[in-house]
Amino acid sequence: MHTMPRDVGWIEVVCGSMFSGKTEELLRRVRRAQLARQLVQVFKPVLDRRYHETDIVTHEGRSIPSVPVSRATEILERVDARTRVVGIDEAQFFDEELVRVCEEMADRGLRVIVAGLDQDYRGRPFGPMPHLLCIAEYVTKNHAICVVCGNPANRSQRISGGQERVEIGAQDRYEARCRRCFYPEGEPDQAELFSEQAQA
């Protein structure tokens, strides 16, 4: 159990693979702040329209209203002076400026809750997330369940789509995988995989 700071701002980061419950955890923390009668504002990147144009929606269908923004600096422009808590979903899709934006809000005394993928589909650090993980007061790393073997999963396997780093999708394009079942360059040919397993 963490002791929460008083009379000071801070940054919390919730990270993990696809389907690990990052957005669920963001919503849980935001709703608790609302129950405490704190003014909360939630933001998401405008390009994330998987489930709704403006709301943040979890894979399980839970949702909360948010403000879509095209760049991180818009968050600063839109934060109300009375706001105490700022939630940011899909942080990996923002540019590096998000780090400065989060620092500035925390320096103003705001609680900043950030959720996002820490790795891209090739297992590489994703967008501003590595820097945010370094400067955050609190970090939570969620795990999903590997769809192949059932182990804890912390990687996102792309199962369809192209080679672009950013391709928005859900179960249609990604699966949660563990280290052993993850193939950063795409699924191997099954005959080749069988041959490798036979030689092992």
**Catalytic residue list:** 90
How far apart are the C-alpha atoms of 159 and 73, rounded to whole Å?
A: 33
Q: Please give the structure tokens belonging to residue 117.
A: 């993928």
What is the number of other CB atoms lying within 10 angstroms of the CB of residue 49?
12
Closest alpha carbon to 186 in 155, 160, 168: 160
3-state secondary structure of 56: strand
How far apart are the C-alpha atoms of 200 and 192, rounded to whole Å?
A: 13
Give the rounded distance of the alpha carbon of 123 from its chain centre: 14
What is the number of other CB atoms lying within 10 angstroms of the CB of residue 187?
11
Residue 104: C-alpha distances to residues 98, 107, 192 (Å): 10, 5, 51
Contact at 8 Å (CB) between 9 and 105?
yes
